[in-house]
Structure formats: C-alpha cells, structure tokens
Amino acid sequence: MKIALSQINYHIGNFESNERKIIDSIRKAKNKKADLVVFAELAISGYPPRDFLEFDDFIIKCLDSIKRIASECRGIAAIIGSPSKNPDIKGKDLYNSAFFLSDGLIQSQHNKSLLPNYDVFDEYRYFEPNIVYQVVDFKGKKLAITICEDLWNIGDDLLYRGNPMDELYKQKPDIIINIAASPFHYDQAKLRKKIYLQNVSKYRLPLFYVNHVGAQTELLFDGGSLVINSSGIIVDELAYFTEDLKIYDIEEIERQKIQQQPVNPSKIQLINDALVMGIGNYFNKLGFTKAILGLSGGIDSAVTLVLAVEALGKENVRSILLPSGYSSSHSITDAEKLAQNLGSPYDTVRINDAVQCLNLSLDPLFQKLPEDIAEENIQARIRGVILMAISNKFGYILLNTSNKSEAAVGYGTLYGDMNGGLSVLGDVYKTEVFELARYINREKEIIPENTITKPPSAELRPGQKDSDSLPEYPVLDAILFQYIEQRKGPNDLIGMGFDEATVRRVLKMVNTNEYKRYQTPPILRVSSRAFGMGRRMPIVGKYLS
C-alpha cells in the first residue's frame, strides 16, 4: 500500500482555498499511484477556528466541502479532518472528526477522544469527546485513525484517564494514522518525536503523522510531518515551515533499518524561520502587502526590520526614523546604515516640534512639576501617532518591535511603542534578540555592529540606559524564563540562587503590568509559554503584586 502525506498551509474559514489545495493534493497523489492520502486535523476549517464553530453556517460549509472532496476520491482514498455535528442531543453539538473518504463517498467518521484544554488549546469548549472506537479496513490493512492528542496520553505523566490507542489496539490494527494540529515552539519537534516514538515502541506498529504548516495569527505551525516504521526508525520528515507532499510504500518503510539523519536546526534558526513565516502569513492571509515600523537604531527594531524584509520583500517594508532631542547621532546613523544595507525605503520625521507643542499645551495642567515619566511617554506616544498616521494614509500594517523581556515587566508605553498590528518579537527575550542579530549577521554584517554592542536605551531622557530601570538582561531573562515558562515561584527562584530583592521586584513588575499586555497586538508564539491566548492571568489579582 502507498500512503501520501499532504502537509498544507490552510487558511481559517477560507473554504475555497482549502478545498482547492486539498483536491490538488489528491490528484497529485493519485497520479503518483498512492492508495491513500492523509491530511491534517480540522483541515477543512483551518485550525483553530474558535467561535466560528458556533455558527451553523460555518459547520454546513465544512460538511459541504467534505462531500465535494469525497467525490474526488475515486481510485484513491483520503483521511481528512473537519468539525462534524453530534447527532446526540446530549453533550456538545460538535465532534472534532477525521473522515475516511473513498469511492466518491464518506465511508466512515472517527472522532477525537482527548480534547486538550490547556495552554493555547480550548477544544472542550466546542467538542464532545469520542467514546466509540473502530479501525478501518482498507486494501488488506487495518488503519487506526487517531487525532493529535489521542496519542499523547502516554508515558509517566498522564493527563487523561483513558487511552484511545489502547482501545483501537484491541482490534489488531496494522498502521497508526495520526492527523494533527501541533503548534510550533522551539522545543516542540523534539517533544512530539519523543511522544510518537513511545507510541511505536508500545504498539509495535508503523505510524504516519501529518501536521499543519503555516501561521494562524499568533499560532505558528512548523509542519515536520513524520513517518516511523514499527522498529522505531524515523524513516522521513516532511519539510519545516513550508508545504510538502510525499508518498511512502508501507512495505518499503517497514524494511528500512537506517535511521533518517535528522536535520537539527538551532533554537535561534527555528525562531528566525518561524517568525519570518509568521509575518508573511499574517500579511498574506489578511490581504495586506506592506509593513511600516519605527526604526530607532536599537537592536529590537533592527531585528524586526530584517525579519520583515525577508518575509515581505525589501520594497514592502518602510522604516520611519523618529529622532528626538535625546536621540544619539549613532542611533540615527545605525538605523540609516541598516536600511541601506537591506535596500529598504526609509524616511526621517523629527519629533522635537511636536513634543514641544504638546508640552506647551500641557504646561497649565502640569503646573511646572518636575519632568518625569509623563514627559518621556509623550515622546513615545507622538512616535506612535506618527506611525499610525502613515499606516492609515498608505494602508500599511504597523509592526510592533517590543521584546518579551520588556512586555513582561511593562517596560513600554501604551499607545506609543506598544502600538502595532502584529508583535514580531513579543515572545523573544532580549538576550534571544541579541542571538537573532548574531544569526542574521552569520555570513556578513547586515545589522550594524554598533547596534548589537551598544548598551540598550529607550533614549527618552539624557544618558538613559535600560539598566537604569531593569536588572541586566541576562539576569532578568533568567528569572523571567523560570517564572513564565517553568512556573517557578519566588521561593523556588531564591533557592536557585537569584537575589531575593531582585526576584520579588521582577515578579511584582510582571504581575502589575498585566493590564498593558492585555492591550498589546497579537504576539507570534515561538516559546512554550507566550503572552496572549496561552497565558491567562487576572489583571486585578493581588498574587505577588
């Protein structure tokens, strides 16, 4: 039997595009003599469809699309994910389903049993868990069709009481098929290989796994679909961060004895490639082509510009330099040099007159009080107003350049440098931004060396440095990582050797600035714990604040 894996970049709710891509893959696989082609979880709708699932019209469109795709399945079968209606009046109205299509018809439906309800997942909000298990007999083989999480309840730390594959195994299947929507973070590929190898080791069956690829707002999908034979040999991986289609002969993969040599990109390369894909898909799926950003001469805006140029093309990213009276001359020249290195357009708009005008307007109200953060933030907000004005006038999307370290401790100005339609680096710590800059410059100097080596500064007052307000970034980021990603409390952190006063200060800054993060643009997720949909904290909570 020949099985094709089709790894596609779907678009949520774009039934015409999704259906066209699926049918095109079916025809290609059929021309290459495949018997079966496998698509991802919720392929018809795109993942995650969220509250679109609450509209009957949306579900009807999904099912109509499935029927049209089924009509293409003559001389070839397909497995494809879609929401489906639960006919039972009890329970949730929908299932998360895998449809088996052949001979022009829907032959069977297989529903997801384990519905994740943690981190970025919210499936139990919409779907009823499956309790009925049935393998598929196809061309002399029994197929155990599972959906993503159904294979993840394995090992020592079990989240669910049951195991769907244990039930399917009682029917003596020959092959495990797993269709998935597994969002990217920089450790996810290693983790899922471990999980799927554990399944193969336990059941001694070959496994075919198909993942999504592409970006759906903040969620990024890296592809990396897998074929593992019953001996636990990873026979092949599909491409990362791009669409792919490959066909495998089950008898040939079972004979393979040599482990495929994995391509193990570095964490920073993965983050770089994921962010480029995320920017490109966000613009493409919204129908925009051009971006704008404030280019300060600092490392965050520099890295953002390079990533955006790679994603959108140099002619489609416009930089605006917005110097004030506190901007150093090297900041201006560093920003200009970067834009020139990239061949990307840039303009300079000095904000001194606007700052002076606004300060004069506020003088009667401020009553000659000493200058403080209010005057600093006026500068950031004027920059935000200018960037948004250009965005509105020319139809650009403004890219936010704040990093995760700043977002965590509230080191940013609401309605100023926190503006934007998309946050590119909001899940990248400052120390990782430096690593990205070095990765970008691995072959030649693109980002000026001075941008990388000079002390970070917001340049909102004379001689200002980030370290005036924050711990040094290596210390800050180490504390933030342990608190945010690893969920370590203050006593844990102090026990790890961090200074107690610094720990309590940092954790207080994190928790008292939740209101700012609540108002930020969507953040491209590259870690296991990004701000946004995967981290839900109360704004008015008292804990550690």
Burial class (CB in 10 A: 0-12, 13-18, 19+), 51: exposed
Beta strands (DSSP E) in 151-211 are 175-179, 207-210
Q: What are phi and psi of 247, to 5 degrees?
A: -120, 140
Q: Give the CA angle between residues 482, 488, 494 to the nearest 5°.
A: 85
Q: Tokens 């560093």 appear where?
A: 334
Q: What are phi and psi of 207, to 5 degrees?
A: -130, 130
Residues 30 and 473: their CA atoms lie apart, in Å, by 54
Residue listed under structure tokens 């613009």: 283
The answer, yes or no, to whether the previous bond of 48 is cis (omega within 30 of 0) is: yes
Say how many residues make up the chain: 545
Tell me which residue of 330, 329, 308 sits closest to 319, measured CA to CA. 308
Question: Catalytic residue positions?
Answer: 41, 112, 148
Neighbours of 416 (CB within 10 A): 20
Give the helix ranges, DSSP H, for 240-370: 250-255, 267-286, 299-312, 329-342, 352-366
**Calpha distance 181→81 (Å, rounded):** 10
The alpha carbon dihedral of 533, 538, 544, 545 has a sign of positive
CA-based nearest residue to 409, from 334, 507, 308: 507
Token pair for 445: 């100097």
Alpha-carbon gap, residue 389 to 385, rounded angstroms: 6
Which residues, including other chains, have CB under 8 Å from residue 151's CB and lie 6 or more apart? Answer: 164, 165, 176, 178, 195, 196, 199
Radius of gyration of the chain (CA): 26
